[in-house]
Amino acid sequence: MTTAHAADPVWVVIPAAGRGSRFGGDIPKQYLEVAGRPLIAHALEVLLSHPRVAGAVVALAADDTRWPNWESLWGKPVLRCHGGSERADSVLAALQALPAGVADTALVLVHDAARPNLRLGDIDRLIAAADAHADGAILAAPVRDTLKRADAQGDIAATEPREGLWRALTPQAFRRGALAAALERARADGVVVTDEAMAMERTGLRPRLVEGREDNIKVTTPADLALVEFLLGKASQGECE
Ligand SMILES: Nc1ccn([C@@H]2O[C@H](COP(=O)(O)OP(=O)(O)OP(=O)(O)O)[C@@H](O)[C@H]2O)c(=O)n1
Ligand SMILES: C[C@](O)(CO)[C@H](O)COP(=O)(O)O
């Protein structure tokens, strides 16, 4: 498998077609206003501000009425497509919606719309790792807590070893053609992959883990919102770089 060259343009895919069922509420969480802007705007803008990034495709729900019709940000194209019933379907649809001139060897960064607190330093290190590692790379955070397995009653059944365990974050960086093929293969096998790396691992590849910021959190429940609001406020003041 070929590796990307350091000057090649990188494209961004943002899965943003989720319903936010765990979050609840009437507004899909990706459109909740946080630190003065919709959640989806924060990560999209920091990704598009990176000099290697050429543009983005955002996967939206077919009945999405809240997309602000951005067609470009930072002078770069922001395209959109309809997502699917699973996150992986939305990612695959966005890969297929990339402009025709984007090569199969082009590096694509897949990033959750629900992760607004992304920093340029993490993007830099992820792209550098993916440029150099043919199997791709993902941002991740080492598990620092003791892990317990629950029984049916919600009591502790076991303590699981945490050595070598990491929490997968996003962006996850892979080459367009290889990622699309891996996602199509998982779909054909009837396997729902929960991240892009899982699809690539299924084909025998071993993507590189790149330690990312612990505060690159995914807004999943209302409890996450206050923390993200605080973190984005600090980021806007130039802190926590
Ligand atoms: N069919 C789907 C499901 C999820 N996503 C996106 O994938 C990201 C991470 O998913 P998650 O946090 O689970 O979002 P939701 O699926 O909306 O949340 P829930 O599982 O609570 O419904 C989100 O940006 C979400 O919009 C997507 O594009 N298409
Ligand atoms: C892709 C991801 O954010 C990596 O941790 C995670 O798998 C998304 O899970 P979700 O249940 O779709 O939010």
Cα–Cα nearest to 125, from 234, 2, 213: 213
The pLDDT > 90 percentage for the chain reads 93
Task: Indicate which ligand has the atom closest to the C-alpha of 43.
Answer: 1
| pLDDT recorded at residue 138 | 99
> What is the assigned CATH class of domain 10-139+168-236?
alpha beta
Mean pLDDT of 198-202: 98
| pLDDT recorded at residue 5 | 57
pLDDT surpassing 50 at residue 1? no
- For a mutational test of ligand 2's pocket, the pick from 194, 210, 220, i.e. the residue with the most ligand atoms closer than 8 A to its C-beta, is 194
Mean pLDDT of 181-209: 98
pLDDT surpassing 80 at residue 137? yes
**What is the atom index within ligand 2 of the atom nearest the CA of 18?**
12
CA distance 43 to 35: 13
pLDDT surpassing 60 at residue 235? yes
Is residue 105 very low, low, confident or very high in pLDDT (cuts 50, 70, 90)?
A: very high
**Cα 1 to ligand 1 centroid, rounded to whole Å:** 30
| pLDDT recorded at residue 240 | 47
**What is the atom index within ligand 2 of the atom nearest the CA of 110?**
1
- For a mutational test of ligand 2's pocket, the pick from 13, 170, 192, i.e. the residue with the most ligand atoms closer than 8 A to its C-beta, is 170
CA distances in angstroms from 236 to 42, 45, 106, 167, 169, listed in the order given? 11, 13, 31, 26, 22
Cα–Cα nearest to 205, from 172, 176, 179, 166: 179
Taking the model in full, what pTM does it have?
0.96
Mean pLDDT of 192-219: 98
Listed in sequence order, the DSSP H helices in the chain are: 39-48, 87-96, 120-132, 176-188, 196-202, 222-236
Is residue 234 very low, low, confident or very high in pLDDT (cuts 50, 70, 90)?
A: confident
